[in-house]
Chain A
Amino acid sequence: MSGQPTAFEGETGHALKRFWESGPSGWNRTLTRPVVLVPFFVVAALVPLILQYVEDNSSWIGAQYWTLILATCAMYACLAVALNLVVGYAGLLNLGFIAFFGIGSYAYALVASDQIHQHFPLWAALLVVIVVTLAFALLVGVPALRLRGDYLAIVTLAFGLIMTNLILDLDRPPVLAGHQFGPDGLNITNGTNGLHNVAPFSLPTSLPVLGAIPHYRMYYWIFVGFLALSIFCMLRWRHTRTGRAWVAIRDDELAARAMGVNVFKYRLLAFCTSAVMAGIVGMIDAALVFNAYPENFAVQQTVQVFVMAILGGLGSLPGAILGAIAFTIPPYVLQQFVFYKYLIISVVLVVVMVLRPEGLLGTVSLRPRKVLGGTVELLTAESEEAEGHPVDKADAAEIEAVTGEILTPEQKL
């Protein structure tokens, strides 16, 4: 496990050997260094140009197609990073996560299509998307975040379902108790069809050095740029007062409260930030595909993003990208398995959770804690665990003092 003191033994070995022996949290630390991230994003930005070059110089055609796939992949990576903030950092199980993506896409579609005859400039549309998703996030978050963890999951799930119902039903004026609200022709969401002919962002379609930029490539770059920006912010944020507060709350709410952390405030901050991120991603998606669909709200999508974040490892940003790649590219390569996509996703989700709960690069261990010998454990660790409490730091120190055994970080969490 990551907590083993391999760091000391590895000092003498080869750099790669040291890297391998540093374990998941060590890998995570290495992969989030600028030395790794900057080249990664540079290469990621160059990929469509390479694809174009290959297409121009061979008989292969598919640069456009693969750029679209990569854009989808980058989109899911953005969503996984946003989900990682709310689940991995703050420990909030937000099952209505994808609804914010949907809200963002519909908010943009409404102010950039003929549905209600509005065509806002890009900055105004972005502002609308942020304000609308934030409003919904506060609407759900303020009451729901006062509840216990399990209940939060169910309230957010119910919120997602209500949003789906509203999107499907608001293609006609609502009728309540025989009274009709709004004029006869009222059609906000266009029901099951979704909103069409959404205008793409009004950005320059050609740049001095790069020449003309095809539609997909531009949105791929927008997604990659957004991803880089969010990862940069997350990494900076993780080590601020706010980031430490989130981790403290996730690991032991009671202890955090006792230390004077305003649990509600920080939870709401994580919830709303993640929601707004998802909303902006939804907006970019609506502009990419010229549409906003009711499927944007499907709960399967939430599960899919969850699987990406969990396979990569909760609390790990490179993990989120890795998870997004692992679940976006294969379905396009293995077309014959598309039918089984969600079946495979669900099996992977359960198997990863049971066998390796921290995912590939996770920094959060959800693994069952080891049971120590002796009576101390019965009084502290075990009885607390049975209640679902994490072991207190104080308890851990007590166990260490009594048994002389050093606990691994996972046991202390």
Chain B
Amino acid sequence: MDYFLNQLINGLELGSLYALVALGYTLIYGILELLNFAHGDVFMVGAFLAAGVAALFVHNEIAAIPGGLVVVLMLLVAIGGAGVLGVGIERVAYRPLRNANRLAPLITAIGVSLFLENAVFVWVSPASVLVPTHALVSQGVLRAGVVETPLTGLMLFGGSLGLMIALDLFVFRTRFGSAMRATAQDREAATFMGIDVDRVIMVTFFLASALAGFGGVLYGLRYASVDFFMGYGLGIKAFTAAVIGGIGNIRGAMVGGLLLGVLESLSGGFISTQFQDTFVFLALIVVLLVRPQGLFGQPVTDRA
């Protein structure tokens, strides 16, 4: 039972990370019907930006800046950097192809993903980079009865949850959020209502990528190591989460992310760590076959 609870907590932490990244997939898919394959790599770039800031302040000992302040700086740089990167990707690789055959932006998305991975591989580091998390945040372990988890894990969970709630409020309670939802429903009609669709798409990309950047910072703090390939596997799992929840559905992505994290953690803990990832991808295939619209999605109309 103890083991089960601890695996469950691990799964929820991991799942909240998946949910953060899954939100990005879902936001962009909701608005553009585009699978942004590069999204996982935006997460990776965010994590590297944060690792860079951390290394700058911790290793160089520029000044006795308290760890908390460095973390705030990391968050600012990673969120801003990832957000700008996302907007740039949209401008360069997706906007020129907005009315093209669906195949075209999918292919550029793969190209952008490969570019980001290799740019980091070639120009930053081919090996994994350590994040000096011990110098930044408390490495204490929180115990509640039999359950124990590092504080950084709790940060990851709490931070993700907070951001998800903020995003939900933004999309469902603000004026701009309703413009986003209108664009997602019918881009044409949204234009007639005076909505600047280009701006909505830009902001969506910024938000989605900023969430990924935030996830990147917390990932670095929790797992203490980042590498150029991390966005690939995590991106696919997050995408899986988005599909499980129903792609295009924001609350679905959150639930899907948590579910997938728990599934991965429990199947790793109880069935086989060897085939942990295989189970995750099998879950994706099974969900797509049994319920392609996901748990909370609208039934999918059959389109080419």
Could you list which residues of chain A lie within 8 angstroms of chain B, going by C-beta atoms? 87, 91, 93, 95, 143-144, 146-151, 153-155, 157-159, 161-162, 165-166, 169, 174-177, 249, 252-254, 299-300, 303, 306, 310, 339-340, 342-343, 345-347, 349-350, 353-354, 357, 365-369, 382-383, 385-390, 413
Contact = CB atoms under 8 A, between A and B. Distances in A.
A169 B275 CA distance: 8
Given A357-B97, A367-B100, A389 B112 contact: no
Given A161-B281, A166-B278, A343-B122, A366 B243 contact: no
B303 interface: yes
Q: Which of A157, A176, A346 is the most central at the interface, judged by chain B CB atoms within 10 Å of its CB?
A: A346
A172 to B, nearest CB: 8
B33 A354 contact: no
B288 interface: yes
Interface in B233-261: 233, 236, 239-240, 243
Contacts of A354: 92-93, 96-97, 108
Contact of A306 (B107, B275, B278, B288): B107
A154 B243 contact: yes
A166 B274 CA distance: 9
B187 interface: yes
B115 A347 contact: yes
Interface residues of B, number: 53
Contacts of A387: 303
B270 A177 contact: yes
A369 B99 contact: yes
B118 interface: yes
Contact of A149 (B102, B277, B292): B102
28 contacts: A91-B103, A93-B107, A95-B110, A143-B285, A143-B289, A149-B303, A151-B292, A154-B35, A155-B288, A158-B284, A159-B285, A161-B281, A162-B281, A165-B277, A169-B274, A169-B275, A174-B274, A177-B270, A306-B110, A310-B107, A345-B114, A350-B115, A353-B104, A367-B100, A368-B98, A386-B187, A390-B101, A390-B304
Provide the main secondary structure of the chain B interface.
helix
Nearest to A170: B274
Interface of B: 33, 35, 92-93, 96-104, 106-108, 110-115, 117-119, 122, 186-188, 232-233, 236, 239-240, 243, 270-272, 274-275, 277-278, 281-282, 284-285, 288-289, 292, 300, 302-304
A8 B278 CA distance: 58
A65 to B, nearest CB: 27
A253 B277 contact: no
Nearest to A357: B104
For the complex of A and B, 5 pairs with smallest distance between CB atoms: A253-B304, A349-B111, A346-B115, A346-B114, A366-B104
Given A303-B110, A368-B100, A153 B35 contact: yes
Contacts, number: 164
B115 A343 contact: yes
Contacts of B117: 342
A300 B93 CA distance: 19
A149 B108 contact: no
Nearest to A87: B103
Given A93-B107, A303-B111, 12 more contacts: A93-B106, A146-B289, A153-B106, A154-B239, A155-B284, A161-B281, A252-B304, A253-B304, A346-B111, A349-B107, A353-B97, A390-B304
A387 B114 CA distance: 28
B92 A350 contact: yes
Provide the main secondary structure of the chain A interface.
helix
Nearest to A378: B188
Nearest to B105: A353
Given A157-B236, A177-B272, A368-B97, A388 B102 contact: yes
B64 to A, nearest CB: 40
Contacts of A347: 111, 115
Nearest to B96: A354
A388 B33 contact: yes
A155 to B, nearest CB: 6
Contacts of A91: 103, 304
A57 to B, nearest CB: 42
B282 A162 contact: yes
Q: Which of B101, B233, B284 is the most central at the interface, judged by chain A CB atoms within 10 Å of its CB?
A: B101
A306 B110 CA distance: 10
B99 A303 contact: no
Contacts of A174: 272, 274-275
A253 B302 CA distance: 10
A346 B188 CA distance: 32
A149 to B, nearest CB: 6
Contact of B188 (A147, A161, A382): A382
A143 to B, nearest CB: 5
A388 B100 CA distance: 8
A357 B106 CA distance: 12
Nearest to A341: B118
A43 B259 CA distance: 59
